Every structure is written in structure tokens, then in C-alpha cells.
């Protein structure tokens, strides 16, 4: 698609000009003042309103600097590897290797294997300090190293992915629900039950299993899938949280996309042993039918359009492209979403806006939240 290639070139040049670094929606929230405000429901709501309307003002006041983010580097690596695989253009390989090397030089320290987190403190239901490794970030990096191994055949990349599996199995908290179900935590310091985080870890174990043949990877990956699939709603959707966590009632666009992508990775890895094709199809049908408008606009939730988030746009393109081998009609949806996103959310300078609200647009070019995901997304169709 010509328009995608032009969009990709603009974004690629913007990323290079900015030295791979940028702001993040959560960097300002990691300052002492905003961390304290997040601990109260009312002050958290008010501070979020202020940050949404004046994002750059507060970053200047609190002297928040642009940073390189491990998740962004992993996503960049995956996008550039995808582009190299399609074009054989060495410039993309050079950029992919730069990102992979950066990751290998900058892991979180003191854990069982390679792992990465965020370069800022963040407040969830527990306080998570800067640099605490995340199963999600580590899994995305592991998939980047597996991509590199498949394309280049260099054993060091497979060994790095194997090391990521050591972190997942030894450092994340694992809730043994019953004999056939487990749930991986988000980080080593929480006991969250979050479907997309659980499946990111499962997909990493299962994809790595296809090369390492460690039966524990397979066993634990399947048990994690069993947990998440057991909580699929009747309409095919998943809530963000899973029991016993109480915050169940949120079904959003990009987290649903993560679940579907990870299930499809697992389907490829397990082949005929994958037992959940009907659940995957049901989830895909809910996703395509309830989380998008007819013109390809990604809704934030099934019951709400706004804010339209660049994360939803990017993950939709990725999800539909990844699942095209499962359902060929997905490619048409991916093309519809990418056209809408380029037309409505890309700045003439090359970067993508953060969010479109009902009454205004937040044009902040967040590196990890938007640009990295969009580079990977555009690499499928460019």
C-alpha cells in the first residue's frame, strides 16, 4: 500500500531524528507529586484531567526528560525485522540490530534471566518502582529475539529468548488455580490476575518451546491459556482483570487485541494440540464487530468511542494482520484501520497523535505508547 509506505518512511525518519527517545504517558505520573495524587480516587481523577489537557506544560514544570524505553526498543526491533524480511534492505537490519543490542546491554538486574521494565516509577494497585521487570515488556522483547533468530539463525538470539523464559518461570508470581490452570503475575512484586499479561508470558513460553523443546514451557504455557480461556465471556469478550481480582468490568480495544494475538501465537506453536480454535474465533468476532466503527475507527471500549487511542489503532492493525492466517478477512479490516489511522492521527512531521477526545486532540508524540507500536503495525502493510 503506497500510503502506508509513505507513512512508514515519515515515521521512521522522525524516530531517527529523535534518537529513539521520547516522552511516555506515565513518565510524569512517576514524579512524587503525581504518585501521591494517584493514591486517592478523586485527586487521581483531577490530576489525570489536567495532564490530559496540558501534557507538555507539566513535563516542563517537573523537568521530565525524554527517555529510551525497553518496550519501545523491542517493538522497533520487531518492526524493522519485519521490514527487513520483506525488503532485504540492510538499513532496516542495521536498525533492528541496534535495538536488540541496546536491549541486551540494558536489562533489569538481579533476576533469573533477561528481563526489562519501565524507566519510571508507576502506581497501579501496588507501587512499582522504576526498572521493575514486567512480564509484558519481557515477552515483547523475547518475541523480538525470536524474530531475529528465525530471520538470521543466530543462536544467541534464541538463548536470549530462553533466558526470558527463565525470568517468567522463576521470578514472576504464579498462581496455581488448580491442576490445569495457572496465572502469571504482571511483575515479580504483584499478584495480579490480568489476562493479557498472563497470555504474553504463555505465548513466549510456547513459541520458545517450538525451538527449545523444554516440556515445562509447553506445560506452563497451556495451563496459562486454560486459565484465560476459562474466563471468556459468553459473547466472546474478556475483561481486563480476572478473578479473584475485583476490578472486572472493563472490556477495551487494545487489551482484547493482545489476548487474540497471544492466543494465535500459541495456536501456531501448538498446532494440532491447540484446543481453543472456537474460542479464538468467537473472541475475534466480538473484537471485529464491537470495538470498531464501520469506517475502521477503533473504539476505546465496546460501549464507548472516545477517547480514540493510538494504542488501539496500532494493535488493531497488528492483531488483524497476525490473525490473517487464521481468518483471511482480517486483512481487509487491517487495511481499513490503517487508512483511518494515517488520515486522522499522523502529523505531517511523521509522528502519531496520542488520543482524539470528543472535543480536542492530544497531539503528544509518546514514543512507547504510539510511535513504537505504529512502526511495528505499519511494517506489516508497508
Give the per-residue pLDDT at 379.
98
The residue with cell 474478556 is 238
Give the per-residue pLDDT at 33.
83
Alpha-carbon distance of 382 to 83, in angstroms, equals: 8
Average pLDDT for residues 270-274, to the nearest whole number?
97
Give the per-residue pLDDT at 297.
97
Given a cut of 70, is residue 286 above it in pLDDT?
yes
Query: Which tens digit of pLDDT belongs to each residue from 293-305?
Result: 999 999 999 999 9
Looking at every residue in the chain, the average pLDDT score rounds to 95
Query: Which tens digit of pLDDT belongs to each residue from 100-142?
Result: 999 999 999 999 999 999 999 988 889 999 999 999 999 999 9
Average pLDDT for residues 289-317, to the nearest whole number?
97
Give the per-residue pLDDT at 13.
98
Give the per-residue pLDDT at 46.
78
φ and ψ at residue 365, rounded to 5 degrees: -90, 75
Q: Which helix (H) or strand (E) holds 170?
A: helix 155-170
Give the per-residue pLDDT at 30.
87
Average pLDDT for residues 229-234, to the nearest whole number?
97
The residue with cell 512531521 is 349
Given a cut of 90, is residue 45 above it in pLDDT?
no
Give the per-residue pLDDT at 211.
97
| DSSP assignment string, 292-353 | B-TTSPBPSBTTB-PSEEHHHHHHHHHHHHHGGGT-TTHHHHHHHHHHHHHHHHB-TTS-B-
- pLDDT tier at 36, thresholds 50, 70, 90: confident
Q: How many other CB atoms are there within 10 angstroms of residue 192's CB atom?
A: 21
Give the per-residue pLDDT at 269.
98
SS3 270: helix
Given a cut of 80, is residue 52 above it in pLDDT?
yes
φ and ψ at residue 215, rounded to 5 degrees: -65, -25
Average pLDDT for residues 200-204, to the nearest whole number?
98
Average pLDDT for residues 148-152, to the nearest whole number?
97
Give the per-residue pLDDT at 32.
83
Given a cut of 90, is residue 39 above it in pLDDT?
no
- pLDDT tier at 209, thresholds 50, 70, 90: very high
Alpha-carbon distance of 306 to 355, in angstroms, equals: 9
Q: Which helix (H) or strand (E) holds 356?
A: strand 355-356
Average pLDDT for residues 191-207, to the nearest whole number?
98
Q: Candidates 2.30.40.10, 1.50.10.20, 3.40.50.150, 3.40.50.720; correct CATH number of 2-25+67-121+135-381?
A: 1.50.10.20
SS3 129: coil
Give the per-residue pLDDT at 248.
64
Given a cut of 80, is residue 246 above it in pLDDT?
no
Give the per-residue pLDDT at 183.
98
Given a cut of 90, is residue 34 above it in pLDDT?
no
Alpha-carbon distance of 307 to 124, in angstroms, equals: 21
Share of the chain above pLDDT 70, in %: 99
Average pLDDT for residues 143-172, to the nearest whole number?
98
- CA neighbor of 356 nearest in space, from 319, 318, 326, 311: 311
Average pLDDT for residues 286-293, to the nearest whole number?
98
Give the per-residue pLDDT at 362.
96
Alpha-carbon distance of 134 to 172, in angstroms, equals: 8
Lowest mean pLDDT, pick from 21-25, 43-47, 158-162, 352-356: 43-47
How many CA atoms within 13 Å lie on the side-chain side of 42? Answer: 0
Task: For residue 117, list its beta bridge partners.
Answer: 133
Task: Say if CB 84 and CB 92 are below 8 A apart.
Answer: yes
Average pLDDT for residues 189-201, to the nearest whole number?
97
Give the per-residue pLDDT at 53.
87
Task: Say if CB 378 and CB 79 are below 8 A apart.
Answer: yes
Alpha-carbon distance of 130 to 86, in angstroms, equals: 36
Given a cut of 70, is residue 19 above it in pLDDT?
yes
Amino acid at each position: 500500500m503506497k500510503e502506508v509506505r509513505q507513512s512508514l518512511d515519515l515515521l521512521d525518519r522522525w524516530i531517527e531524528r529523535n534518537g529513539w527517545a521520547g516522552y511516555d504517558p506515565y513518565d510524569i505520573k512517576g514524579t512524587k507529586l503525581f504518585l501521591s495524587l494517584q493514591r486517592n480516587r478523586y485527586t487521581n481523577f483531577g490530576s489525570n484531567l489536567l495532564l490530559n489537557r496540558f501534557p507538555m506544560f507539566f513535563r516542563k514544570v517537573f523537568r521530565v526528560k525524554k527517555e529510551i524505553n525497553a518496550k519501545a526498543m523491542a517493538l522497533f526491533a520487531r518492526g524493522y525485522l519485519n521490514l527487513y524480511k520483506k525488503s532485504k534492505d540492510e538499513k532496516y537490519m542495521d536498525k533492528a540490530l541496534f535495538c536488540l543490542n541496546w536491549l541486551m546491554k540494558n536489562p533489569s538486574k538481579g533476576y533469573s534471566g533477561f528481563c526489562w521494565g519501565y524507566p519510571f516509577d508507576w502506581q497501579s494497585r501496588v507501587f512499582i518502582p522504576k526498572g521493575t521487570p514486567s512480564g509484558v515488556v519481557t515477552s515483547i522483547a523475547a518475541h523480538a529475539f525470536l524474530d531475529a533468530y528465525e530471520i538470521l539463525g543466530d543462536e544467541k538470539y534464541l538463548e536470549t529468548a530462553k533466558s526470558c523464559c527463565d525470568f517468567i518461570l522463576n521470578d514472576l508470581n504464579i498462581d496455581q488455580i488448580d491442576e490445569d490452570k495457572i496465572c502469571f503475575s504482571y511483575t515479580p512484586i504483584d499478584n495480579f490476575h490480568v489476562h493479557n499479561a498472563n497470555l504474553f508470558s504463555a505465548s513466549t513460553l510456547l513459541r520458545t518451546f517450538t525451538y527449545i523443546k523444554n516440556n515445562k514451557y509447553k506445560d506452563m504455557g497451556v495451563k496459562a491459556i486454560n486459565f484465560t480461556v476459562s474466563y471468556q465471556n459468553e459473547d466472546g469478550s474478556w475483561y481486563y482483570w480476572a478473578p479473584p481480582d475485583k476490578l472486572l468490568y472493563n472490556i477495551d480495544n487494545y487489551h482484547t487485541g493482545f489476548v487474540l494475538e497471544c492466543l494465535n501465537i500459541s495456536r501456531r506453536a501448538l498446532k494440532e494440540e491447540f484446543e481453543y480454535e472456537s474460542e479464538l474465533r468467537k473472541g475475534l468476532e466480538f473484537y471485529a464487530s464491537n470495538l470498531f466503527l464501520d469506517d475502521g475507527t477503533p473504539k476505546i471500549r465496546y460501549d464507548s468511542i472516545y477517547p480514540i487511542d493510538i494504542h488501539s489503532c496500532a494493535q488493531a492493525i497488528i492483531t488483524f494482520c497476525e490473525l490473517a492466517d487464521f481468518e483471511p478477512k482480517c486483512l481487509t479490516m487491517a487495511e481499513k484501520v490503517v487508512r483511518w489511522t494515517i488520515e486522522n492521527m499522523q502529523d505531517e512531521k511523521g509522528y502519531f497523535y496520542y488520543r482524539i477526545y470528543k472535543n480536542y486532540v492530544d497531539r503528544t508524540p509518546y514514543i512507547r505508547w504510539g510511535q513504537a507500536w505504529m512502526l511495528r503495525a505499519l511494517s506489516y502493510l508497508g
